[in-house]
Amino acid sequence: MFIFCSNLGVTGLGVESGARYGMGMESIATLTARHAKDGSLDWIGLRPARLAPVEGVARADVTQTGLSGDHGRPGKRAVTLIQAEHLPVIAALAGLSHVDPATLRRNLVISGINLGALRGRHIRIGAAVLRITGPCAPCSRMERALGPGGCNAMRGHGGWCAEVVAPGIIAPGDRVSADVPAT
């Protein structure tokens, strides 16, 4: 049986109401606030200068203006994140067998939780709290880094920008949780 769930109710073949199957109607806000599980911080990269190579590190100090030792800018783009699950997609679209996270010039690689579903939300990573502010568009450097079509390979997979809500120390293996109350 096909069932379609929306904020208007549940419909399907011969199904008048989701309540008949024990599925109460939930608001979109409730549905979008729920995540199957917490994520994990897989990798941290710092960009010591604007065009300098990205250096992978074992831990980072998240300050009010971004990651200590990173040239990033304070505010809504203080920290950049990318979804680990998107790395193989970017590689495939660029015609590569593998993409090193440092090549993509993002600060944090996150796995296990959908960053796109967290836009505007607070997330806790280790001792730090960030707010996902919006997409991080790929730059023209990706053409050199990934080859012709590299910028297009990253479109829709380029990651997310975040501002710092609460500073703290982070390290690979830290849990990424979306259940953080607004401060």
Using only C-alpha atoms, the chain has a radius of gyration, in whole angstroms, of 19
Is residue 83 domain-resident? yes
**Same-domain status, 90 and 109:** yes
Residue 181: per-residue pLDDT:
65
Is residue 133 domain-resident? yes
**Same-domain status, 131 and 153:** yes
**Same-domain status, 51 and 138:** yes
Which comes out higher in pLDDT, residue 182 or 135? 135
Residue 72: per-residue pLDDT:
82
**Same-domain status, 80 and 108:** yes
Mean pLDDT in residue range 4-9: 46
**Same-domain status, 118 and 148:** yes
**Same-domain status, 18 and 41:** no
Alpha-carbon span 73 to 113, nearest angstrom: 25
pLDDT tens profile 93-136: 999 999 999 999 999 999 999 999 999 999 999 999 999 999 99
**Same-domain status, 132 and 48:** yes
Is residue 87 domain-resident? yes
For residue 23, how far is the Cα from the chain centroid? Answer: 30
**Same-domain status, 13 and 67:** no
Work out how many domains the chain is built from and give that number.
Answer: 2
Mean pLDDT of the chain: 87
DSSP 52-99: SPPEE-S-EEEETTEETT--PPSSTTSEEEEEGGGHHHHHHHHT-S--
Domain coverage including residue 96: 36-177
pLDDT tens profile 29-69: 777 777 778 999 999 999 999 889 999 999 999 999 999 99
For 136, residues 6+ apart whose C-beta sits below 8 A from its C-beta are 77, 80, 81, 82, 106, 158, 159, 160, 161
Q: Is the pLDDT of residue 175 over 50?
A: yes
Whole-model pTM: value is: 0.82
Q: What is the CATH number of the domain that holds 93?
A: 2.40.33.20
**Same-domain status, 7 and 51:** no
**Same-domain status, 76 and 142:** yes
